[in-house]
Amino acid sequence: MDKAAMLDRQQHIRNFSIVAHIDHGKSTLADRILEATDTIAKRDMQAQVLDDMALERERGITIKLNAVELHYQAKNGETYIFHLIDTPGHVDFSYEVSRSLAACEGALLLVDAAQGVEAQTLANVYLALDDDLEIVPIINKVDLPSAQPDVVKEEIEEMIGLDASNAILASAKTGLGVPEILERIVSDVPAPTGDLDAPLKALIFDSVYDSYRGVVLAVRIVDGQVRVGDTIELMSNGKRFEVTEVGVMSPKAVKRDFLMVGDVGYLTASIKTIQDTHVGDTVTLADRPTATALDGFRKITPMVYSGLFPVDNAKFNDLREALEKLQLNDAALEFVPETSTALGFGFRCGFLGLLHMDVVQERLEREFNLDLIMTAPSVDYQVVRTDGEVVTVDNPAELPEPSEIKEIREPYVKASIMVPNDYVGPVMEIAQRKRGEFVTMEYLDKYRVNVIYNLPLAEIIYDFFDDLKSSTKGYASLDYDITGYRASDLVKMDILLNGDPVDALSTIVHQDFAYDRGRAIVAQLKQTIPRQQFEIPIQAAIGTKIIARSTVKAYRKNVLAKCYGGDITRKRKLLEKQKAGKKRMKAVGSVEVPQEAFMSILKMNDEDTKGK
């Protein structure tokens, strides 16, 4: 391709994302756009191709970003190259949204015509506005009988401050409005402005590990071009690699000879060491480097920590490798080795939230075939010792002795909960119960209120969102930011099985809730721990004081007792059955403890909210 052709190509590139609250129809619209541009024939269309992992399809949420190249023949007769960069919508993943947006010049703002603007709509659109993206407002699901496009237009204008008079009325389900959306991408989203002749400057916005090709980098070329055979340099660490393949996803990988300014595609360079690449890093050419690196991304800090242990201790190294591979395209995932007397060797992992934690656990189990025990999630606490030193503790088992603690501080968030007027009561009730401190209430328009609370993060990570949803018929939406740490009346609660404290079951709780929680946990454990050959006392203790207790009774009979003199196959069957049942069990001292037991704390919260 000669230079004139390349410059012409640059003018025809449109890079955009779709920003929306979860479930407003982003993936469905992406599918319609793919169909309309014949990127995939209708008959090959699996529902929602952008959600490529099996896991995503099952959960119905988008958790990993993905960029596709599409070719669109516009009404003006010219063909445009669209790069559609998918973004996740869940509150746990807003960081990834900002990563995707950094690769775009425009964003389609998708708002559900029945639900209106929600917390994540606002959070995501602000990210797009921060990046100076051109925004095309779209009101989706106008086919629904409950659609109120005019109300939603008003909301977009009042709550976001965008002109919504030209918002496109669409239905991703029926395809209504899709042709107009495609034309507006051409007319409203600017072509990329970088310099074709400048030295290569490319942003790594995602990466995955491929066992054949090594690390595959998803890149946005900001300046210049890159070809197979070029030697690239990663600017954060100076490491050099020879480019072995470049291409675009359309939606399967399609090889190209080069990627040029404005392109969004992938690059492989036999990068075997995962630690060498960082999302947010800048790629340049070794023999003609660019002068300055791109800004990169702000470092995100996990909010929730949990211990991950292989059921089979011999799988410790497999778990480490799997975590390293996941971390490649999941910059938010953190892990450090951890040893537990109860569970052996594992990792303390940091997550963005509970959904993120679930997703990581499932990916480890499915994609890497690991059986895992996961301990109850915890936030990170700041502990001021009596000697004045401040230490961060994200593992309750590592809390210093009470006599060494002057004060424990816990993270607080400012939460905005958006609900229709009628549900303000139940929302306030939940927030109060979770130690919330009312800040203010803003009337957004005639229908909706934004209720602001200061809340301890530890109270909302568990089931706050589920509670909110169920007591507001699904109408509440939530967004929160960490505001800082506050001293609270917190204590460590230990759980003793058969008289021995189990470090992996320790939790940090508020003094006022300690008795209730202790009782609930003990009751929950009694149900999850199966009967064994001997009686197992379960106790909850604060320091040396036992605050709750219960007992798992011994078997009434030995399972094998019946088989005495009986036939051997029956005996073997019984033993096999027992063995299968033990798959997810871990021997803690003399007691077999199932995986669920370590999550009793979460279950217990469920029970709490049901008013038991």
Ligand X SMILES: Nc1nc2c(ncn2[C@@H]2O[C@H](COP(=O)(O)OP(=O)(O)OP(=O)(O)O)[C@@H](O)[C@H]2O)c(=O)[nH]1
List contacts with ligand X (CB under 6 A).
Answer: 20, 22-28, 60-62, 89, 140-141, 143-144, 171-173
Residue 450, both tokens: 């934004």
Residues 6+ positions from 157 with CB-CB distance below 8 Å? 163, 164
**Cβ closest to ligand X, residue 373 vs residue 478:** 478
Shortest Cβ 345–ligand X spacing (Å)? 35
Q: Is 90 annotated as a binding residue?
A: no
Whole-Å CA distances, 254 to 69, 203, 212, 352? 10, 20, 16, 33
Q: Is 28 annotated as a binding residue?
A: yes
Q: Is 330 annotated as a binding residue?
A: no
Shortest Cβ 143–ligand X spacing (Å)? 5
**Cβ closest to ligand X, residue 168 vs residue 548:** 168
Which residue pairs from 595-598 have beta carbons closer than 8 angstroms and sit at least 24 positions apart in sequence? 595/372, 595/373, 595/374, 596/528, 597/505, 597/525, 597/528, 597/529, 598/373, 598/374, 598/375, 598/376, 598/504, 598/505
Shortest Cβ 186–ligand X spacing (Å)? 22
Q: Is 278 annotated as a binding residue?
A: no
Whole-Å CA distances, 570 to 229, 501, 559, 575, 577? 65, 38, 11, 9, 11
Residue 315: count other Cβ atoms within 10 Å of its Cβ.
19
Q: Residue 169 phi/psi, 5° resolution?
A: -90, 120
Shortest Cβ 30–ligand X spacing (Å)? 7
**Cβ closest to ligand X, residue 63 vs residue 505:** 63
Q: Is 481 annotated as a binding residue?
A: no
50 DSSP assignment: T
Shortest Cβ 447–ligand X spacing (Å)? 20
**Cβ closest to ligand X, residue 9 vs residue 141:** 141
Alpha carbons within 13 angstroms on the beta-carbon side of residue 328 total 22
Q: Is 25 annotated as a binding residue?
A: yes
Best CA proximity match to 475, nearest among 91, 117, 97: 117
Q: Is 27 annotated as a binding residue?
A: yes
Residues 6+ positions from 472 with CB-CB distance below 8 Å? 419, 420, 423, 426, 427
**Cβ closest to ligand X, residue 139 vs residue 495:** 139
Q: Are 23 and 474 in contact (CB under 8 A)?
A: no
Shortest Cβ 423–ligand X spacing (Å)? 22
Q: Is 317 annotated as a binding residue?
A: no
Q: In the β-sheet with 13-20, what is the strand arrangement from edge to edge? A: 67-73, 79-85, 13-20, 106-112, 134-140, 168-169
Q: Is 66 annotated as a binding residue?
A: no
**Cβ closest to ligand X, residue 148 vs residue 532:** 148
Shortest Cβ 94–ligand X spacing (Å)? 12
Shortest Cβ 126–ligand X spacing (Å)? 17
**Cβ closest to ligand X, residue 25 vs residue 194:** 25
Compute the distance between CA of residue 310 and CA of residue 318 in angstroms, rounded to an integer. Answer: 9
Q: Is 510 annotated as a binding residue?
A: no
Phi-psi region of 611 (alpha: psi -120 to 50; beta: other; left: phi over 0): left
**Cβ closest to ligand X, residue 174 vs residue 292:** 174
Residue 265: count other Cβ atoms within 10 Å of its Cβ.
26
Residue 417 forms beta bridges with which residues? 451, 478
Shortest Cβ 172–ligand X spacing (Å)? 4
**Cβ closest to ligand X, residue 164 vs residue 178:** 178
Binding positions: 23-28, 140-143
Binding positions for GTP: 23-28, 140-143
